[in-house]
Amino acid sequence: MIYGLCILLFLIGLYAVVTKHNLIKIVIGFIIMENAINLFLIMLGYRMGGKAPIIWQDAAGKADIAAFANSAVDPLPQALVLTSIVISLGVTALMVAICLRVYQRYGTFDISKIRRLKG
């Protein structure tokens, strides 16, 4: 159920990328796809009743590593998703730059009106 909604979100983004005519709508669909995949990876590492993977010291300045390792959520997907989010920002900037250049050249965002993409 909970994974199904996440996959549904990914497919909504895919639908926008495939069917929409507007370049900005395609970028929006792409962002939704990226976020859905990130959320799916985070969900795979979630432990029920878990804690954030950051060790806190108690009042005596000690840290209980064994209890931490038994209760924290998975740090590995979080680390990979963290890099993926920043990459998605760079890729979005690149896509928007391409869209703006296409707009400058053809005066529209509508890809069905842009017949000469080879330019």
Partner 1 sequence: MNNSNQINIAEHSEGMSLVVRTIARWVKSFIFIFGLYIVFYGHLTPGGGFAGGVIICCSFILVLLAFGKERAFKRLSLERAGALDSIGALGFLLVAVAGIFFAGTFFVNWLSVPAAGSINSLLRKIGVGEFRLLSAGTIPVNNIWIAIKVCASMYLVFALLAMLRINDDTQEDL
Partner 2 sequence: MNVETITIIFLAFIVIGSLIAIETPNLLSAVVCLGVVDIGFTILFLLLKAPDIAITQMVVEVVCLIILIRATVNRDKSADTGERKLFGLMTTGAIIIILFMFIMNVVPLFGEFGNPIFTRVENAPSQTYLSKCLEDTGAANAVSAVILDYRGYDTLGEATILFASVIGAIALLRKKPRKKINEPDESDSLSVVKDE
Select from partner 2, partner 1, none the partner in contact with residue 67, using the beta carbon and a kind-dependent cut-off of 5 to 8 Å.
none
> Is the Cβ of residue 60 or residue 90 nearer to partner 2 in the bound state?
90
> Is the Cβ of residue 49 or residue 60 nearer to partner 2 in the bound state?
49
What's the alpha-carbon Rg for the chain, to the nearest Å?
21
Which pair of structure tokens corresponds to residue 18?
A: 């495939």
- Residue 49 falls in which region: left (phi positive, over 0), alpha (psi -120 to 50) or beta: left
56 binds partner 2 (CB under 8 A): yes
- Distance, CA of 23 to chain centre: 19
Q: Are 48 and 71 in contact (CB under 8 A)?
A: no
| Residues 47-106 interacting with partner 1 (rule: CB under 8 A) | 52, 54, 57, 61, 63, 82-83, 85-86, 89-90, 93, 96-97, 100, 103-104
| Residues 35-54 interacting with partner 2 (rule: CB under 8 A) | 35, 38-39, 42-54
> Is the Cβ of residue 44 or residue 107 nearer to partner 1 in the bound state?
107
**Selection from 84, 92, 90, 11 nearest residue 41 by Cα:** 84
CA gap 12, 35 in Å, rounded: 12
Binding site for partner 1 (CB under 8 A): 52, 54, 57, 61, 63, 82-83, 85-86, 89-90, 93, 96-97, 100, 103-104
